[in-house]
Each structure stands twice: as structure tokens, then as C-alpha cells.
A and B are shown apart, each in its own frame.
Chain A
Amino acid sequence: MDLKKRSMLKLGTLSALAAAAAVVGCSKTEAPAPTAAAPAASAAAPAPKAEPLKVAFAYVGPVGDGGWTFAHDNGRKAVEKEFGDKIKTSFVENVPESADAERVLRDMVGQGNKLVFGTTFGYMEPMLKVAKDHADVKFEHATGYKSAENLRAYDSRTYEGAYMAGVVAGKMTKTNTLGVVGSIPIPEVVRNINSFTLGAQSVNPKVKTKVVWVGDWFNPPKETEAATSLINGGADVLMQNTDSSAVLQTAEKMGKRAFGWDSDMSSYGPKAHLGSAVINWAPYYVSTVREALEGKWKTSPTKLWWGVKEGAIDFVSPAADVPDETKKRLDEIKAGLKDGSFVIWKGPIADNAGKEVLAKDKAADDAFLGGINFYVKGVEGKVPGGDKK
């Protein structure tokens, strides 16, 4: 999933002031000294019997980003709560997707961590390198596609949450125009935009979706501007695949509706909020740590892609004015995703040029989902760079 995540560290470069920005950029790599922060509360006293399993997390952003890294850290906390003094967790924030990542990862191993989570796409190569040198340590890489003897990749099916948001959006829109604020045009994000639209079309065939790209994972002012322009262009229900709650708050300010993303954002915009498509990393982290503790951990050639079925994805806090039939439909979708009877990406599906991309009754496999670079029918415009293949 490509370029994942977080160009937070490159916020400075945005400024286009090459000199000044370059300084910010490189200082950011130095500023967060990789001291293992936040010792586990429960690990203060030395364990009397078995040594606790040491688990480390490398984060690309700050825990306080309220989005991506925040969600991962909630997963870490859940692990601590679950296993108490049997484990000892630590994390390092603001680890850039650069040579520094390898240094931090080696440092984690040096400190005796036996299970290491890297939570951004850009850590893939450094993790592979470090994993090769430390066969006794287990590595877990979020959103990657490569694996090794002691390295496994994992991810979340965020598009399932996007689909459910779409079902609500299709029901609630009055103008039949939905708006999506996209971050970086990679398959993951395009898939979410498409799934959102498919969900909306399932209850309202007339909807169309406008997309605006901000070119950033995290840039609240730009997200605000993008949301404003979508609303000005006639969209009355907004969705975003960016990290902050700025889109929701813009909708709140302008009297329109929107969704939360990554975490429950209902408190940010009580009037605008229609529900939140959330990622819950806790089930995966708890299960992985349990495997490691019980000696059952083993690698997997393909990434472990968890969704509603495994409790990793959910749609929460639907607004009070969402009709009961829609809420019931959401429950049906969740139940269907859980038992496998419901498939979101199932033909016939055509792209917005009218070409059939998925034949009737054919369900998309993960390889298809991983490479989506077209808009489905109903989404306006063209995927930036979507032509080259």
C-alpha cells in the first residue's frame, strides 16, 4: 500500500521554501531522540518469575496526531492491558521513513525487544534488513507486502468502513452529490473512494461522487480548504481519507454532514457527524502478542489483512437522524462481512469510463483490490496518474 504513511515529517517541505524547509526536514529527523518513551506502567517492579516479553512499536508520527499513529498506540495500550506484567511495551514516535528507521529498529533489538512492530509502509525495506540480521526477533510490518522467516505483514480493510459510510451517505444526501477529500492517489485511497461510492449507490443509484486531492496525509488547513470547495461545488455529505478531523469540522461549520475516519470523531462535530469508519488495531496486536507468548507465532507469505470479520474495522456512532432501516442495513452488512456471505467488491462493476472491470457475480481477490487505479461509475474525474500501468 504504497507510500504509506505520513508525510507529517515533510510538512516543512510543503512550504516550497527550499532552504528553510530543508532545514526543518532534517532537523525533524534529529529532534525526536529515539529514547524508548513511556515505560509500561505495570512493568515498574521486576517480574519475579519469567522475564517479560519486550515488545516495541515504531511510529511514523506523534501519538498526538489524533489519527493513524494515535490508533496504533491505542492498540499498544490494549496489549498492555491484556497481558499486564507478562510483557513490557515501549514505543518511539516520529521515526522518519528513512535511514533513521533502520537505526531505530536496530536500537530496539539491541534493547532486548523480541517483538517489533513497524507501523508505516516506508519501514518495509529497513525491517527486512534488520530482520535478516536478527533471526531470534519477530518483526511485524503494517501495510507492507513483503515477508521473511521472521517478518510478517499486516493491514486493515479500511474500505469496508468506507463502504458502510457510503450506505449512510447515499441515504442522507439531499443533493445526490457526495464529496471525498483524498490524500495521496494510491490504490488504498482510490479503493476507499470507490467503496464509499459503491455503498452509496447500493441505496441510491443517483449519487455521484466528487473527489479532491490534497496531496498530503496530514495538513488540516488544506483539508479545510478542500472540504470547503467540495461543499461550494454542491456536495452535502463529505468523506475523507486524510488524518485530521478538519473535513468533519468544516462540514460542521458550513451546516453539511460528514464522517469520522480512523477513530471515532463524533465529538469533533456533533451536528455534522454521521458516523465514523474506524480502525481497531487492538485485536491484531493482542492476537500477535499472544502467539508470541505461546510460541505459536509464524510468518505468512501474504499479508494478514483484517477487516470487520476479525474486529479490526467497524462503523460506529451513527447519527440519531440516520433512519432505522439504514442502521439495520449496516448491521446486516457487518453480519454478512463476518460470516462471509456479503462481498463488497462483486461484479458487475464498471469503471467511470463504462468499461467492465469485474464480471457479473465475480468477487474481487486481494490482488485485484491491491491494485485498483480507476474510479468506479459515479465518481467524477480521473485518478491522477491512473493511466499508466
Chain B
Amino acid sequence: MDSYALLVAATLSAGTVLALASLGLLVNEKAGIVNLGAEGMMLCAAIAGFATVVHTGNDWLGFAAGMAAGAVLAAAFGALTIWLNTNQYATGLALSLFGAGFSAFVGIGYVQEKLPPRPQFSVPVLGDTPLLGPALFQQHPLVYFAIALAAWLIWFLYRSRAGLVLRSVGESPSSAHALGYPVRWIRLAAVIAGGALCGLAGAYLSVIYTPLWIEGMVAGKGWIALALTTFGTWRPARVLLGAYLFGGVTMLQFHLQGTGIDVPSQFLTMLPYLATILVLALISRNPAWIRVNMPASLGKPFYPGS
């Protein structure tokens, strides 16, 4: 049984990268903007965070640097798509490619760098309980932050006035505009918040999860996070579930391989994608729900006054 507690611990840790990024993208998309640049933002944030920790030795400064890197790139993306009305999909892809190249360029000198010894965390008292302690209460604070963030987003999006305004901007920007809300600025704020969270995910990856920097190390997690927002039908709780599900099935398939079961590893490699899509699709099998949850103006440009 002990190994299952460890499996849970690993799942929480593995799902956190995806959870942070996909919750950020959720905020983004609730405002009606699709940012396909997640992978690029995460890569830039990964090197920004890693380099900062190499030089300062402070993980929290590293997270801040990662968030700043993500926010700056997102702001550039926002300026292009919201004011210059460039195509969101093309601009996002360009951002991904730029981020991959730029992070590699900036990161050349950091390929063989290493971080100071990584800290261990444990919640007092609870962390010492047998079985559950190691699984649930000896995680990095950002793991709990991701869960808290999802909870807060549920309240923010559906119970607060600011959240209502944010959603209205994604549903019907012209109505929000007519009501006097600064649609473009609200969208920009959402895009920057999304970028900062993707940045936090990237920095968590390079500073805590896989403490190293190598070109292209995000290895597709940004794309998975993008998929999770859609398959989670833009609901914070489902997106969080999807992130853990993906992390969990990934860990489970390694676990199964390690126990020497007789299933082709190629099949197991496919399993996390399949299982996540399947479960999330089943949860939201009513197509009407997806339509209801999907921001009506997602991906559509908004020209005030036209």
C-alpha cells in the first residue's frame, strides 16, 4: 500500500505543472482570447526562473522571474492581438516558436549549470502522519497553491463581480463595451494573468520539478495544458481534475512498467492522453454543456465601435 501513497504523491507533483498552466490559460480564454503560445512562454519562464535561482539562490525570486517572463510575452501577444487585431492562432503559434528559439538562445550558457541543494518541504505535524503524510503533506507549497488557485477561480469567475465582467468580455464583448467596460484592457489583463501563470508553471518545472535547464525541456506540456482547458470545458475544477488525471495516468503507466506487466510500453505511453481525453469527454458528454461553457466569443477579434 505504501507504494500507492507514493504514487499519489508523484501524481500531485506531476499534475501541478499542468494545473498551473491550464488554469492560467483558462482565465485567458474566459476573456475570449486563445493563446497558443503557452509552450513558448513556459520555455522562456523556465530559463528565466532557472537563471535567477542560479544567480540568487532564491527559489521565490526564480518563480517571480518566471512569472514576469510569462507576463511580458503574454503582454506582447495581447498588444498584437487585441489592439493590432492580428490573428490569435497565428500569433500564438509564432509566440510558441519564438519562445522555443529565444529560450534556447538565452539559455546556452546555463545548460550545465546546477541549482543549490533543493529544499524539502513538510507541513508541520501532518507531514509526519504515516502513509498520508508523505503523499499529501510533504509537497512543495506551489502544489497546494495550484489547488487553492482552482478553488479561488471557481469563486472569482462565478461569484464575484470582477469575474462576471471578465466572462462577459469573453461572451459578448460588444455588450460589455456598450455597458462601458474597457473590453480591451480587461482582455489584456486576463492575457497577462494567464501568461504569468504559465510562467509560474515553467519556473516550477525548471526549478523544482526537473531542476535543470536544457533546450526544449518543457517537452509539450504547454500543448497538453492547452488541450486540458478545452477538454475540461473551461471549468476550473475539471481542468484541475484533468491535470491530475494526466499526471496520475502517466505515473501509473510507469508504475505498471516497473512491475513488469506484459503490456507494450508504446501502448502505455499513449495511455495518459487517451485516458484524460476519454474521462473529460465523458464528464461533459452533453454537447450542450460544452457550448454553454465555451466563451461565445472565444478566438474572435473585437473591434470597438464597428
Contacts and interface: CB of A to CB of B under 8 A. Distances in A.
A11 interface: yes
State the 9 A-B residue pairs at the shortest beta-carbon distance, nearest first: A15-B223, A229-B254, A381-B260, A15-B220, A14-B220, A380-B260, A213-B265, A232-B6, A233-B258
Interface in A14-64: 14-17, 20-21, 23-24, 27, 31, 62-64
Contacts of A66: 111-112, 214
Interface in B243-272: 250-251, 254-255, 257-262, 264-266, 269
A232 B13 CA distance: 14
Nearest to B259: A233
B93 A20 contact: yes
A3 B175 CA distance: 56
9 contacts: A8-B216, A16-B224, A17-B227, A64-B214, A221-B217, A244-B210, A249-B211, A250-B210, A381-B260
B251 A228 contact: yes
B219 A20 contact: no
A212 B210 contact: no
A357 B221 CA distance: 42
Contacts of A129: none
Contact of A31 (B101, B118, B209): B101
B3 A233 contact: yes
A148 to B, nearest CB: 33
A222 B219 contact: yes
A244 B212 contact: yes
Interface string B206-235: 000111101111111111101100000000
Contacts of B107: 64
Interface string A348-383: 000000000000000000000000000000001110
Given A16-B227, A221-B17, A229-B7, 4 more contacts: A21-B223, A212-B257, A218-B216, A225-B14
Contacts of A70: 111
Given A70-B111, A229-B10, A15 B210 contact: no
B159 to A, nearest CB: 32
B112 to A, nearest CB: 6
B273 interface: yes
Contacts of A158: none
Interface in A191-246: 210-216, 218-226, 228-230, 232-235, 244-246
Contacts of A216: 219
Given A16-B273, A221-B17, A225-B254, A232 B3 contact: yes
Interface of B: 3, 6-7, 10, 13-14, 17, 36, 39, 93, 96-97, 100-101, 104, 107-108, 111-112, 114, 118, 205, 209-212, 214-224, 226-227, 250-251, 254-255, 257-262, 264-266, 269, 273
A185 B216 CA distance: 23
A179 interface: yes
B260 A215 contact: no
A20 B223 contact: yes
A138 B257 CA distance: 44
A226 B217 contact: no
A267 interface: yes
Nearest to B263: A384
A355 to B, nearest CB: 17
B250 A225 contact: yes
A298 interface: no
B212 A249 contact: yes
Contact of A220 (B114, B118, B219, B273): B219
A110 interface: no
Nearest to A248: B212
Nearest to B7: A232
A213 B270 CA distance: 12
B104 A64 contact: yes
A268 interface: yes
Contacts of B222: 15
A380 B36 CA distance: 42
A141 B215 CA distance: 25
A31 B255 contact: no
Given A23-B93, A64-B111, A221-B219, A246 B205 contact: no
Contacts of B262: 381-382
Given A11-B220, A62-B104, A221 B260 contact: no
Contacts of A380: 259-260
B260 A15 contact: no
Contact of B258 (A64, A230, A245, A253): A230
Contact of A245 (B108, B212, B250, B251): B212
A187 interface: no
A240 to B, nearest CB: 13
A220 B260 contact: no
Highest count of chain B CB atoms <10 Å: which of A24, A65, A221: A221
Contacts of A12: 39, 220, 223
Contacts of A244: 210, 212, 214, 217
Highest count of chain B CB atoms <10 Å: which of A235, A381, A385: A381
Contact of B257 (A8, A63, A213): A213
